Structure 1
């Protein structure tokens, strides 16, 4: 049973050894261990605070990026609106210019048609006059071929003409 229950001497020497080890640990090891634990704790706190600062900076950068994106989108929309307005203006100007040009061409065509019509009428009048003269000449030649017909024609004209 001696093996199961320790003796008083053994307990005494274990207590003395424990106290010596406790004294040595508190004298030489406890302070460096505690200081290294404090250093570790402060480095962890610093790392956490730096991580928090980095997180805040990332949020600020993200907000800045979102703001820049919003500005870029607004600028893009403005540029597209300006380009659309310029395009519409150019189209309207081109339509107006085309309308003016077509009106000018129609007016020129009408004037050309009118000139051609006048020229054609003049030519027709001249042709009608020539034909009338030729027909009259042919008729006069045929009717005035004998002397009695000539006298009869002169008498008829004399009757028509009244002298006052």
Structure 2
């Protein structure tokens, strides 16, 4: 039963060995372990601070980017409105110019048609007058060659003429 109940000498040597191991661990193991734990804790805190700072910077950059995007969209909309207005104005100007040019061309065509019509009428009148003169000349030659026919022609013209 010696194994279950330790003797006083055994307990004494166990306590002495425990204290020696405890002093050795305190001087050689705990100080480096605690210093490395403190160093790691400070590096983690620094990393957390840097992460928070980076997060704040990212939020500021994101807000700046949103503002730039909003400004760019507004600028794009303004440019599109101006371009639409300019294109509408150019289309209206082109329509007005085309209408004016069309009206001018129609007026010129009407004037040319009227001139050609007058020239054609003058030519028809000249041709009709020439034909009338030719016909009258032929009739008069035929009629005037015969003396009784001349007298009869003069009499018929005199009957047709009514004197007031």
Tell me the TM-score normalized by structure 2: 0.83
1:53-72 CA distances to partner (integer Å, 9 max, x unpaired)?
11121222222222222222
Distance 1:112 1:74 in 2: 56
Residue 33 (1) aligns with residue 33 (2): yes
Deviation at residue 9 of structure 1 after TM alignment: 1.5
The range that moved more, 125-134 or 7-16, is: 7-16
Structure 2 unaligned residues grouped into runs of 5+? none
1:66-105 matches, within 5 Å, as 66-105=66-105
1:8-87 matches, within 5 Å, as 8-87=8-87
Residue 122 (1) aligns with residue 159 (2): no
**Cα RMSD, aligned residues only:** 2.4
Distance 2:69 2:25 in 1: 62
Deviation at residue 128 of structure 1 after TM alignment: 1.2
Distance 1:94 1:74 in 2: 30
**Higher normalized contact order (CA 8 Å, seq sep 6+, divided by chain length):** 2
Residue 109 of structure 1: aligned partner: 109
Structure 1 unaligned residues grouped into runs of 5+? none
Tell me the TM-score normalized by structure 1: 0.83
1:139-159 CA distances to partner (integer Å, 9 max, x unpaired)?
222222222333455566678
The range that moved more, 125-134 or 34-43, is: 34-43
Distance 2:27 2:155 in 1: 175
Distance 2:23 2:156 in 1: 176
Distance 1:5 1:47 in 2: 55
Deviation at residue 80 of structure 1 after TM alignment: 2.4
